[in-house]
Amino acid sequence: MMLPPSPGTFRDREDLVSYVRDFGASQGYVVTIKKSRKDRRVILGCDRGGTYRNRRKVEEYIRKRKASSRLINCPFEAIGKKDDDVWILVIKNGEHNHEPLNDMSEHPYSRRFTEEEVRQIKLMTEAGIKPRQVLNALKQSNPELQSTPRHLYNLKAKIRQGNFSEKSFKSWRPNKSVPVNTSLEASATHYDPVNVPNLIGGKFVDSQACAVVDVLNPATQEVVSQVPLTTYEEFKDAVGAAKRAFPSWKNTPVVTRQHIMFKFHELIHRDIDKLTMNISREQGKTLNGAKVDVLRGLEVVEFACGMASLQMGEFVPNASNGIDAYCTREPLGVCAGICPSNFPAVISLWMFPIAVACGNTFILKTSEKSAGASMNLASLAMEAGLPDGVLNVVHGTNAEMHTYARAAARGKCIQYNMGAKNHAIIMPDASADATLDALVAAGFGATGQTCMALSTAVFVGGSLPWEEELVERAKKLKVNAGTESGADLGPVTTREAKDRTCRLVQSGVENGARLILDGRNIVGEIVTFDSNGKKSGWK
């Protein structure tokens, strides 16, 4: 059975096309591409199969496929659409009506010339070397070359006619060394969970912990990754690495630290779609919400880029008779931060960029429910040039109240925020549209999983005039998996969180509350495929 690629979001069209094309080759089918004139849509089909499909008619006719036909004869169809600044892949039909390729040598694109081979052909053609001699020369450097004289003649004709340009040249060809394997066991490896490592002393190290926590996609309950419960020895190693890195890092010129922050800022922009997709899969946020998560944290990185002026001290000459007053800013040493699950990117970026830009070293403890974003950010920080040991990442250690008590007992500087309740007071003369928009956004934004979520609204003069319109606006929210295009509301992070929400709603009803809109049993549809190639949904 040949499986379709998983739906997803991509930075640009070429990334989307490359992903579908490579996945198709691994499954043994040939992906063809049709782009729209306005560059906002791309259709990817399969150029194999025995059924002729006229896209203008519903009927299908069984007939032998013509040799070298460019018609798409297979029902497989994937569509890429541009939504704002990202490309979203949707699988319209994931089925095939033909057998897979036996090996990659049968793939029609396996006969393509690479860009380097094309350059060599141009030079040899201009030097007057005959086609067969050109092919023999190419096969000396690539004995597995499958291109024939006909392919070479076609390429030479384009060069002579002036129709050839390197910009329009397509050099992709499948990796023939990778065998085609469409068994369910082999296909399932695409979904294997990733073991999340620790970052200690500049190296990503697999934890020796026996216990791990499964990170589940809240929409599909698919295991996205496995986070270790870091051992005490590994945590000590992270602290030791941060201590050893501190003396040299605090003496690093502030301008050098500033340059690293500029590079870090650039890399986050480069990988913002990857970060967004990871957050949506692990935490359940909508794609727009996940992107805002990254962008809000990026603002703090921009702030850290100005650290050269922010670390300037003050000097007051002759503040008193014979006394000059001055102050300097110095790094504290080894700092640590603990991330919650609701904003995995923004909270990480609120903490370690400022700390390391000021000359401190840092230990970041991720949330065991959404560790991927922090790990991706740490990897980008290392790529930006952060020295080994300046930033360390651990997972799953006991935190919260225990950490607060230990730090307070030893007089350590600590900022500790857990949980919040927010109330809104609506006066009778409030603007109806603005108020209702604000209530819906504050109550349902980020699925209510934010410290600024609105849990209580007090209507001065009574709520009855507001209820009907508030319910209508809430009903218009599109509830779906966060990775789906157009979703306004995704799932809460865990089943336990949903069960708690349902218990609170039921408790309110049992204590006399009027339930005017019940969303506890809503069912969403998501176009994904299980290991048997069947569509699966989430509830």
Do residues 531 and 188 lie in contact, with contact meaning Cβ atoms separated by under 8 Å? yes
Distances (CA, A) of 273 to 21, 231, 377, 381: 20, 32, 13, 17
Confidence of residue 355 (pLDDT cuts 50, 70, 90): very high
Whole-number Å distance between alpha carbons of 118 and 124: 10
Q: What is the pLDDT of residue 477?
A: 82
- Say whether pTM exceeds 0.75: no
Q: Which amino acid is at 205?
A: V
Q: What is the pLDDT of residues 293-337, one digit of tens each?
A: 899 999 999 999 988 888 888 889 988 888 999 898 899 999 999
Element containing residue 336 per DSSP (H, E) = strand 334-338
Better pLDDT: 351 or 101: 351
Mean pLDDT of 462-484: 83
The listed range with the strongest mean pLDDT (55-69, 97-111, 159-173, 219-233) is 219-233
Residue 418 has pLDDT above 70, yes or no: no
For the sheet with 203-205, list strands across it. 203-205, 198-200, 391-394, 361-365, 334-338
Confidence of residue 24 (pLDDT cuts 50, 70, 90): confident
Q: Which value, in Å, is the radius of gyration of the alpha carbons in the chain?
A: 29
Alpha helices by DSSP H, listed for 447-518, are 464-475, 495-510
- Contacts with 185 (C-beta within 8 Å, 6 or more apart), sequence order: none
Residue 410 has pLDDT above 60, yes or no: yes
Element containing residue 293 per DSSP (H, E) = helix 287-304
Burial class of residue 376, CB neighbours in 10 A (0-12, 13-18, 19+):
buried
Better pLDDT: 95 or 526: 95
Residue 54 has pLDDT above 70, yes or no: no
Residue 535 has pLDDT above 60, yes or no: no
Q: What is the pLDDT of residue 358?
A: 93
Report all structural domains of the chain as residue ranges with CATH numbers, in order of start. Answer: 1-53+62-109 (no CATH), 112-175 (no CATH), 194-409 (3.40.605.10), 422-529 (3.40.309.10)
Whole-number Å distance between alpha carbons of 250 and 360: 6
Q: Print burial letters for 209-223: b (CB count within 10 Å at least 16), e (below 16).
A: beebbebbbbbbebe
Do residues 113 and 131 lie in contact, with contact meaning Cβ atoms separated by under 8 Å? no
- For residue 252, the Cα-to-chain-centroid distance in whole angstroms is 33
Confidence of residue 198 (pLDDT cuts 50, 70, 90): very high
Q: What is the pLDDT of residue 419?
A: 64
* % of the chain with per-residue pLDDT over 90: 17
Q: What is the pLDDT of residues 495-508, one digit of tens each?
A: 778 888 888 888 88
Mean pLDDT of 252-268: 91
Mean pLDDT of 380-404: 83
Q: What is the pLDDT of residue 36?
A: 66
Burial class of residue 146, CB neighbours in 10 A (0-12, 13-18, 19+):
middle
Residue 521 has pLDDT above 50, yes or no: yes
Residue 356 has pLDDT above 90, yes or no: yes
Catalytic residue annotation: 451
Q: What is the pLDDT of residue 398?
A: 58
Task: Classify residue 208 as left (phi > 0), alpha (psi -120 to 50) or beta.
Answer: alpha
The listed range with the strongest mean pLDDT (53-62, 72-81, 302-311, 477-486) is 302-311
Q: What is the mean pLDDT of the chain?
A: 78
User: Which of these ranges, 39-43, 237-241, 484-488, has the smallest mean pLDDT?
Assistant: 484-488
Mean pLDDT of 188-204: 70
Whole-number Å distance between alpha carbons of 351 and 330: 17
Confidence of residue 101 (pLDDT cuts 50, 70, 90): confident
Element containing residue 265 per DSSP (H, E) = helix 254-270
* % of the chain with per-residue pLDDT over 70: 77
